[in-house]
C-alpha cells in the first residue's frame, strides 16, 4: 500500500521583513485549498511549492518525490518539479495564439497531438487560433490552466483563478473546473479568499492567518468552526 502522502509541505518563508510558516498535507489525490485573507502568505506558499521562491527552511514532498528539504539540502529547480503554475494574472504569452500557449511546455514531437487532445477534453477547441488579447478573462484563465496541464504535472497550482471575474463568469469557470480540471492532475492547490469557492471546490482546506497555518481539515469542518 502506498503510504506516501500525495502532497506534504512545511515551509518557512521570509520576504520584506515579514515571515510565514505554513504547513499542509494531502493523503490522497484531490484539491487542497489554501484559504485566508490577503497578506497571509498564500501566494508566497504557492510559489514555494512551484520552486519560484526558496523557503528559509522546511520541506516539500509530492507523491514519493522530495522537491525541497533543508535538512538534506535538496532543492529541485522549477523546471524539474513537474508542477503546473497559474499566477493570478494568467501570463499568457502575447506572441503566441491559444494553441501555441497550450503546447508551450510539451516536447515538439508530441505537441500537436497533445494540444488537440487537451483542447478537446477541456472544451476549448473553438479558441485554438485566437490571440490571448482577444479572450475574455474567463477564457484566459481556462487557457492558462490548459497550458499548465499540458505537460502532465503531478501538482497544479492555481493562484486566485476566479478573483478577476464577474459573478457569472466565476460560476461558469467553477463549473468548468469541477467538470474538467480536477481529474487532470494528482493534486490541485487552489489559493482563494472566497469561502463559497473553498467549500465547493476543496477536498481539504488549510486556513492561514497572520503568517501561520491555524487549521487544517475538511473545508466544511474548518470553515464551520471559524
Partner 1 sequence: MSGTGFSLWLSLRVALLATAVVLPIGVLIAHVQARWRYPGHGLVTTVVLLPLVLPPTVTGYYLVMLLGREGLLGAPLHQLTGASIMFTFWACAVTAATMALPLVVRTVQGAFEALDPTYEEIAATLGLGPVATFLRVRIPLAWRAIVAAGVLAFARAIGEFGATMMLAGNVPGRTNTMPLEVFSAYLAGDDARAHVLVLLLTVVSAVVIVVAERLARRPIG
In the range 162-221, which residues lie near partner 1 by CB under 8 A?
none
Of 153 and 219, which has the nearer Cβ to partner 1? 153
C-alpha cell read off for 2 = 502506498
Is residue 95 at the binding interface for partner 1, with CB under 8 A as the rule? yes
84 binds partner 1 (CB under 8 A): yes
DSSP assignment letter at 221: H
Under 8 Å CB-to-CB from 221, ≥6 apart: which residues? none
Buried b / exposed e along 55-64 (16+ C-beta atoms within 10 A): beebbbbbbe
Q: Which of 18, 28, 54, 89 binds partner 1 (CB under 8 A)?
A: 89
| Residue 73, phi-psi category: left (phi > 0), alpha (psi -120 to 50), beta (remainder) | left
Residues 130-169, one symbol each (x = binds partner 1 by CB under 8 A, - = not), give -x-x-------------xx-xx-----x------------
Closest approach of Cβ 133 to partner 1, in Å? 6
Among candidate residues 81, 98, 70, the one with its CA nearest the CA of residue 46:
81
Binding to partner 1 (CB under 8 A) within 31-60 occurs at: 50-52
DSSP SS3 for 173: helix
10 within 8 A of 23, measured Cβ to Cβ: yes
Residue 196 beta carbon to partner 1: minimum distance, rounded to whole angstroms: 27
Q: Give residues with Cβ within 8 angstroms of 54, minimum separation 6.
A: 48, 68, 75
Residue 105 touches partner 1, criterion: CB under 8 A: yes
Q: Examine residue 223 and tell whether it contacts partner 1 (CB under 8 A).
A: no
Instruction: Select from 5, 29, 91, 137 the one that contacts partner 1 (CB under 8 A).
Output: 91
- Chain position carrying cell 477547441: 125
According to the binding rule CB under 8 A, does residue 79 interact with partner 1? yes
Interface residues with partner 1 (CB under 8 A) are 50-52, 77-85, 87, 89, 91, 93-95, 104-105, 131, 133, 147-148, 150-151, 157
Amino acid at each position: 500500500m502506498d503510504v506516501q502522502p500525495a502532497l506534504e509541505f512545511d515551509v518557512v518563508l521570509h520576504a520584506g521583513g515579514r515571515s510565514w510558516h505554513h504547513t499542509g498535507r494531502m493523503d490522497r489525490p484531490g484539491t487542497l485549498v489554501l484559504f485566508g485573507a490577503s497578506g497571509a502568505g498564500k501566494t508566497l506558499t504557492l510559489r514555494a511549492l512551484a520552486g519560484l521562491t526558496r523557503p528559509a527552511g522546511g520541506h516539500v514532498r509530492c507523491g514519493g518525490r522530495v522537491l525541497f528539504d533543508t535538512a538534506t539540502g535538496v532543492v529541485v529547480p522549477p523546471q524539474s518539479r513537474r508542477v503546473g503554475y497559474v499566477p493570478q494574472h494568467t501570463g499568457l504569452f502575447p506572441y503566441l495564439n491559444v494553441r501555441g500557449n497550450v503546447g508551450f511546455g510539451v516536447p515538439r514531437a508530441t505537441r500537436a497531438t497533445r494540444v488537440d487532445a487537451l483542447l478537446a477534453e477541456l472544451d476549448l477547441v473553438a479558441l485554438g487560433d485566437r490571440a490571448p488579447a482577444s479572450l475574455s478573462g474567463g477564457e484566459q484563465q481556462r487557457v492558462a490552466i490548459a497550458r499548465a496541464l499540458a505537460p502532465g504535472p503531478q501538482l497544479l497550482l492555481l493562484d486566485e483563478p476566479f478573483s478577476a471575474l464577474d459573478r457569472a463568469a466565476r460560476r461558469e469557470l467553477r463549473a468548468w473546473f469541477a467538470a474538467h480540471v480536477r481529474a487532470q492532475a494528482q493534486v490541485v492547490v487552489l489559493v482563494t479568499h472566497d469561502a463559497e469557492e473553498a467549500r465547493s471546490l476543496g477536498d481539504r482546506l488549510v486556513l492561514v492567518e497572520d503568517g501561520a497555518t491555524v487549521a487544517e481539515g475538511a473545508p466544511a469542518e474548518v470553515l464551520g468552526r471559524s
